[in-house]
Amino acid sequence: MSRSARCEGSPMRRIAVLGATGSIGDSTLDVVARHPQRFAVEALAAHTNADKLADLCRRFRPPYAALSDGDAAQALQRQLARDGVPTRVLAGPEGLAEVATLPAVDTVLAAIVGAAGLPPTLAAARAGKRILLANKEALVLGGAVFMAAVDAGGATLLPIDSEHNAIFQCLPAHYARDPRAAGVRRILLTASGGPFRTRAVAELAHVTPDEACAHPNWTMGRKISVDSATMMNKGLEVIEAHWLFGAPREAIDVVIHPQSVVHSLVEYADGSVLAQLGHPDMRTPIAQALAFPDRIDAGVARLDLAGLAALAFEAPDTARFPCLALAYDALAAGGTAPAFLNAANEVAVAAFLAGRIRFTDIAAACAETLARAAVGPVATIDDALAADGQARRLTHGWVEGRANAGRVTA
């Protein structure tokens, strides 16, 4: 993990937001709008949501916008032309890569969900940009390739996930992905435990998508809410933490913290444990990364420590959360195994949300895909994308068999 030196005078940062129409994009643009003297939006990009991106272009007037879907890009161009907005619209993967590498852009928020966000994030790394990373695929699918690009391009990498950002804040100022040299004994990722932390394990086969999406603390999209309910999100964060911080598998632990106030911790060799606390609001880590090494107002309420009833911690139950154990297994296997797991999970979660398989089938589908797919090396990003495609085909086949067998009833 690299950290930039403090720049005198807090220079204006010119930002490309990849994933502008999602929840991370919303939070980022909220922080940016609070500090017009510090941030300028140079480009906005998304996948297919032309209508929302048009609204954002009208508000922020960026020189560039991009959509990965060509038809959506044409619809965006028509809307902006009709309204007299002079934003230039780009299309396709090439368009996303172009806005991520614009000479005028110094900071790239990488928040496009899925494998589509990987190529432009990699392009930003090779171009030496300051990357605010919220796209997990960059590290889960191609961790070694992506980190090599960061190093070769001289990019600055700042994590946006609340847990990884908390760890970043708890590490020494010049940490260089070497836990032993920094006296770091262990990284502890906190997890809320989701909506089923205390639900009887025998009942989990019958929970509904709406129940799985009812997160007790965070407001998130449906897919990430299900990942929180299975704790797959935490398993993938373990893999990300390995690449971000250079920590071996055995030095990364997960602890359940239902209040979601302590966002993660770092334990040192001398017995000290440093933690970062705050309200569960994504604007906090986004503001920290946007302004780093400065601190700015994020619009987040102050944390009232005296008003907290308690801060509780407990070990995760892998019988309740088998996806967490699968992620540790994938990290140990290395190579394409994390890409297999991520893709299998995406397919299985989509099937669950569509009512085609049960909640407990998500872990079963992932385990079956990991067992059937042959792990190979990831020397290039194409290796990771090929593994992603293979895992999706295997998992789709598994889901079809499960659904056709009548395992899910209305």
**Domains of the chain by start residue, with CATH:** 13-160 (3.40.50.720)
Region 191-216: what's the mean pLDDT? 91
Rounded-to-integer distance, Cα 149 and Cα 295, Å: 28
Rounded-to-integer distance, Cα 192 and Cα 247, Å: 22
Judged against a pLDDT cut of 80, whether residue 6 lies above it is answered with no
**Cα dihedral value 67, 68, 74, 75, nearest 10:** -60
Q: What is the β-pairing status of strands 252-256 and 184-191?
A: parallel
pLDDT in tens, 256-274: 999 999 999 999 999 999 9
pLDDT in tens, 48-100: 999 999 999 999 999 999 999 999 999 999 999 999 999 999 999 999 999 99
pLDDT-based confidence at 5, cuts 50/70/90? very low
pTM comes to 0.92
Positive or negative, the CA dihedral 113, 119, 125, 129 is: negative
Residues 6+ apart with CB under 8 A from 379: 145
Judged against a pLDDT cut of 70, whether residue 408 lies above it is answered with no
Nearest of 206, 125, 141, 163 to residue 345 by alpha carbon: 141
DSSP line for 319-385: TT-HHHHHHHHHHHH-TTHHHHHHHHHHHHHHHHHTTSS-TTHHHHHHHHHHHHSPP---SSHHHHH
pLDDT-based confidence at 101, cuts 50/70/90? very high
Q: What is the pLDDT of residue 406?
A: 65
41 bridge partner residues: 15
DSSP line for 243-309: HHH---GGGEEEEE-TT--EEEEEEETTS-EEEEE--S-THHHHHHHHHTTS----SPPPP-GGG--
Q: What is the pLDDT of residue 394?
A: 97
Q: Mean pLDDT check: name the lowest of 3-12, 185-194, 308-317, 325-334.
A: 3-12
Judged against a pLDDT cut of 60, whether residue 291 lies above it is answered with yes
pLDDT-based confidence at 7, cuts 50/70/90? very low
pLDDT in tens, 310-346: 899 999 999 899 999 999 999 999 999 999 999 999 9
Q: What is the pLDDT of residue 168?
A: 98
